[in-house]
Amino acid sequence: MSEKNPILFCIGTNHESAGLDFRETLFLSREDIDVALPRVVAKHKIQEVFVLSTCNRLEIYGVLEHPEVTQHHLKEIFIDLQRFSPSPKAELDEEIKHRSYSHVQKEAARHAFSVAAGLDSLVLGETQIAGQFKLAAQLAQENGTLGPVLKRLTQEAFSASKKVRTHTDIGKKPVSISHAAIDLANRVYGNIKDCNVLIVGAGEMAEVAAKYLLKYQPQQLFVCNRTLARAEQLVEKVGIGIPYPWDEFHNILPQADVVISCTASNEIVIDKARVLRSQQQRNHKPQFLIDIALPRDIDPACSTLEDVYVFDIDDLKQVVGENFEERRRAAEQGKHIVVENAHAFEKWLNNLSLKPALSHFREYLDSLTAQELQKSLSKSPLNALDTKQQQALEALLKSIVQKMSADAGRTVHAPPLGYSPENLADALKTLFPMDKNG
C-alpha cells in the first residue's frame, strides 16, 4: 500500500472566536507552553508541532499520521495544552470546545497563510504577526519539533505574505495594534498634540507606538519600564521622550493624559488603587488608559473610577473597522493569493505519499538494469565489447530507465480518468517488488 498522507492541522482561538476575557484566561507564556507541549505531543502522537501565542490568538499547528482526524480529536489536543500547563483550567473544557476553531490540510494551510500575511488580524495587514509567526517556527526548530511539513508550511506562509504585500495595496502603510491604539487616543481625546503621553513597556509594541506618536507630536512623551536601560534605548532610538524606571511610575502617572500600556507582564501592573491616587493628584482631569497587552496590564475595574476611561484590545475593533476600509478591499485581493498558495501546498502535501512508491519503482529499474547488464556482459557476444562500447550500452539503459521513471511519475501525479494517484502508486509497488531472486 502507498504511504498515508500526513495530516496537517490547526486548532486555536482568536479575536473573532473569543472575547478578550476568554483569550486572557487561555493565555500561556512561552514557559507554560514548553512545560505542556511535550506531554501533548506524547499523548496524541503528534509528529511535528509549533504554537503561536500572541495578544489576539493562541494556535497549535501540527502534523498527525492518523488517516482520519476528527474535530473532536483536535479540540482535545487544544484542551490538553491547557490541561498540562502549570495552571490547568479543567473547568473551561466545554467553553474551549465552543470558542475554538480547527482546520486540516488545505484549509489549515490557508489559515496559516492568512495569519502570516496579516489577513486574519484585528488590524488588517499588520506586520508584527509575521515576525511572531517566524519566531514560533524558530522555537520549534530549536526544540526539534519542526519537521518537513511544517518547515514547508512556514516557508510558503512567508512567501504568501510577501506576495500579498507586493501585489496588493495592503502594505502601502505599516499598521499594527500600536498604530490603532494611537489613533484611538487621538480620537477620544480630540487631539493628543496638547497631551502628555505615557508608554508603559519598552518592547516591540512600545517602540511602534512611540514611533507613530511622532506623527501627532504630543506635548510630552514618557517611557516607563521595569528596566531603565531598555526605556533609555527606546527613547534614543525614537528620538523623543523621557525614560523612567518603574519605581518612578507613581510620580509619572499623574502627569499623563494618555497611558498606553504594553508590557510582557503576566500580572496587572496598573491597578485601581494606583489610578485612584493618580486621579486625586490630577484633580480628576480626564485620563485615558489604553491596554494593548495580553494578559492585560490595566485592571478593568479602573473604568469604574470617575473621569477614567479604559480601552482594551477589543475596543480597537471600532477604530479599525472605520479607518481601514481601503485595507479591507486590499485584503480581499490578498485572499485570492492565499487560496492559490494553499492549493499548491495541498498538492505538495498529497504528493508526499506518492514519493516512496516512485522512488521504489526507480530503485527497482536501477537494480534490474544493473543486474541484467552484469549478466549480459559476462556472456558472448557482449563480453567482447570494449570499454567504450560497454559504457555506451550502460548509458542507453540508464536513459531508458530515466524515461520509464519519468513517464510513471507523470502518470501517477496526473492519472487518467477513473484512476487515483494512490491506486497507481500501490500498483507500482505490487507489480515491481524489490525482492528479485530469479
Please provide the DSSP assignment of 278-307 as one string: HHHHTTT--EEEEE--SS-SB-GGGGGSTT
Q: Which three cell numbers stand for residue 12?
A: 486555536
Q: What is the pLDDT of residue 257?
A: 94
- By three-state DSSP, how is residue 198 classified? strand
Which is catalytic among the residues 55, 224, 262, 302?
Answer: 55
Mean pLDDT of 227-231: 95
Q: Among 77, 71, 42, 44, which Cα is nearest to 58's?
A: 77
Looking from the CA of 103 toward its CB, the CA atoms found within 13 Å total 18
122-156 burial: b if 16+ Cβ within 10 Å, else e:
bbbbbbbbbebbeebbebbeeeebbbebbebbbeb
Q: Among 255, 274, 152, 156, which Cα is nearest to 197's?
A: 255
Q: Is 55 a known active-site residue?
A: yes
Distance CA 210, CA 223 (A): 9
Q: Residues for the chain: how many in total?
A: 438
Q: What is the pLDDT of residue 32?
A: 94
Q: What is the β-pairing status of strands 220-225 and 242-245?
A: parallel
pLDDT over 90, % of the chain: 60
Lowest-pLDDT range of 30-39, 105-114, 286-295, 322-331: 322-331
Residue type at position 405: S
Residue 372 has pLDDT above 80, yes or no: yes
Q: What is the pLDDT of residue 109?
A: 96
Distance CA 339, CA 118 (A): 14
Q: Among 61, 34, 31, which Cα is nearest to 47's?
A: 61
CA angle in degrees (0–180, nearest 5) for 312-295-103: 95
pLDDT for 7-51, tens place per residue? 999 999 999 999 999 999 999 999 999 999 999 999 999 999 999
Q: What residues are paired with 298 via a beta bridge?
A: 270
**pLDDT tier, 173 (very low <50, low <70, confident <90, very high otherwise):** low
- By three-state DSSP, how is residue 60 classified? strand
Angle subtended by helix axes 105-116 and 325-351, to nearest 10: 140
Q: What is the β-pairing status of strands 287-291 and 258-261?
A: parallel
**pLDDT tier, 256 (very low <50, low <70, confident <90, very high otherwise):** very high
Distance CA 260, CA 270 (A): 11
Domains, the chain, in order of start with CATH, read 7-173+327-351 (3.30.460.30), 177-323 (3.40.50.720), 358-409+424-431 (no CATH)
- Secondary structure letter of residue 171 according to DSSP: G
Q: What residues are paired with 63 via a beta bridge?
A: 8, 48
Provide φ and ψ at 239, rounded to 5°: 95, 0
- Secondary structure letter of residue 136 according to DSSP: H
Q: What is the pLDDT of residue 142?
A: 95
- Secondary structure letter of residue 89 according to DSSP: -
Comparing 176 with 47, which gets the higher pLDDT? 47
Mean pLDDT of 193-206: 93
- Residues whose CB falls within 8 Å of the CB of residue 161, separated by 6 or more in sequence, listed in order: 113, 116, 117, 118, 130
Residue 251 has pLDDT above 90, yes or no: yes
Looking from the CA of 340 toward its CB, the CA atoms found within 13 Å total 10
Looking from the CA of 402 toward its CB, the CA atoms found within 13 Å total 6
**First CA to last CA across the chain, in angstroms?**
24
Radius of gyration, CA atoms only, the chain: 29
Mean pLDDT of 123-150: 92
Provide φ and ψ at 50, rounded to 5°: -150, 155
Comparing 421 with 153, which gets the higher pLDDT? 153
